[in-house]
Homo-oligomer: A and B are copies of this chain.
């Protein structure tokens, strides 16, 4: 691969996601032939000491405490944002205006208004939003089976994102509990993933009704949200996202029941997909537990031989690889800012429904772009 163009990256943020992204930037080329060379140029953050530590550990060439000075630098090609949510908009807009490729953690923004401005600003640049779970090989297999019509018409969709850690006290330094920084709690953090997956797998939501709760006394963001939804394809759904679903660590799960088959997935067992195929003889039907690590499974054929499971971090690697390939071939990558804006509209509908205690229609027109590319 001689003469590959090098893309220099500036990453803003250095927390959990900063590490996951750094890992992806490092590892993608070890498993895949990339159309570009990646340069880990500069990492930005406010805490100088921690920043330097992350830079050293992950091999970033430079550090900077001021993102404004970085996002427009001519030697930077990609700006990757993994700050608290409230900074997504200003950084992304600045980077897009400087004509950079923009990658951004989810949720895209803290409001539809912000997200719209971001999508508008980024209209001319390639974008990526890190809804990484679309690239779990088992989820990808689910999408493929749905696209091929293997489960037929969908009757039911149920999505969960269940965690337990909400019971820990409100660490004042924990931005995820601060509404100004996080925008929301379980909604933006967890439900956004479930909705992104659901609309990717099952198409657009037509209307929804939610209930939003904060269990922890005095907390300013939501701990849990539950909702009913109706999809454009006629299927009905329930969703739950919670930081108080004790006993569950990271159960980002879904089940889809169709006329020809059913599918089930759980991130805690991310190397498996469950599939019940109604074209099997009826006396032999049941959920098959497919170990998605092998031949005929997307992505993982590049990692280890069949039977060797992968971990969480590979979802970022696969997302990045798909993005770079799309970039190289001139195709639009999904999910981009426009897709994530549609999810942001859903999140706003959820919040509105929760606070008004009413069913809310989701504006079709605005999500058409996304829906059109669904299936």
- Cα distance A165–B308 when bound, in Å? 13
Contact (A286, B290) CB under 8 Å given A30-B23, A236-B226: yes
- Residue of chain B at shortest CB distance from A158: B240
Asked whether, in the complex, the Cβ of A308 is within 8 Å of the Cβ of B250, the reply is yes
Closest CB of chain B to A137's CB: distance in Å? 10
> Closest Cβ of chain B: how far from A45's Cβ, in Å?
17
Q: Are A283 and B296 in contact (CB under 8 A)?
A: yes
Interface of A is mostly: mixed
Q: Give chain B residues whose Cβ lies under 8 Å from the Cβ of A307.
A: 163, 249-250, 268
Contact B246 A258 (CB under 8 A): yes
Other A-B pairs beyond A246-B258, A289-B289, A358-B358, 15, CB < 8 Å? A16-B305, A22-B30, A26-B30, A155-B224, A155-B246, A156-B242, A163-B307, A167-B259, A242-B257, A248-B257, A268-B309, A282-B295, A283-B290, A284-B290, A286-B291
Interchain CB contact under 8 A, B312 and A155 = no
* Chain A positions 263-299 with a Cβ under 8 Å from a chain B Cβ: 264, 267-272, 275-278, 280-291, 293-297
Inter-chain contact B247/A262, CB cutoff 8 Å: yes
Q: Does A209 contact B (CB under 8 A)?
A: yes
Assess whether B227 is in contact with A228, with CB atoms less than 8 Å apart.
yes
Q: Mark out the residues of chain A between 282 and 336 whose CB falls within 8 Å of any chain B CB in the assembled complex.
A: 282-291, 293-297, 303-314
Q: Does A116 contact B (CB under 8 A)?
A: no
B288 touching A285, Cβ below 8 Å:
yes
**Chain B contacts of A358 at CB under 8 A?**
358-359
A226 cross-chain contacts in B, Cβ below 8 A: 228, 236-238
Q: Do B276 and A246 have beta carbons less than 8 Å apart?
A: yes
How many angstroms between the C-alpha atoms of A313 and B303 in the bound complex?
A: 10
Q: A156-B224, A295-B283, A312-B310 are in contact. Are A30 and B57 (CB under 8 A)?
A: yes
A-side residues, CB < 8 A to B, are 1, 16, 19-20, 22-23, 26-27, 29-30, 56-58, 141, 155-156, 158, 162-163, 165, 167, 209-211, 213, 215, 224, 226-228, 230, 234, 236-238, 240, 242, 244-250, 255, 257-259, 261-262, 264, 267-272, 275-278, 280-291, 293-297, 303-314, 357-359
State the number of copies, please: 4
Known: A227-B228, A308-B311. A249 touches B294 (CB 8 A): yes
B304 touches A312 (CB 8 A): yes
Taking a contact as CB atoms under 8 Å apart, the answer to whether B288 and A284 are in contact is yes
Pair A283/B57 contact, Cβ less than 8 Å? no
A310 to chain B, nearest CB (A): 4
CA distance A296 to B286 in the complex (A): 14
A211 vs B239: C-alpha distance when bound (angstroms): 13
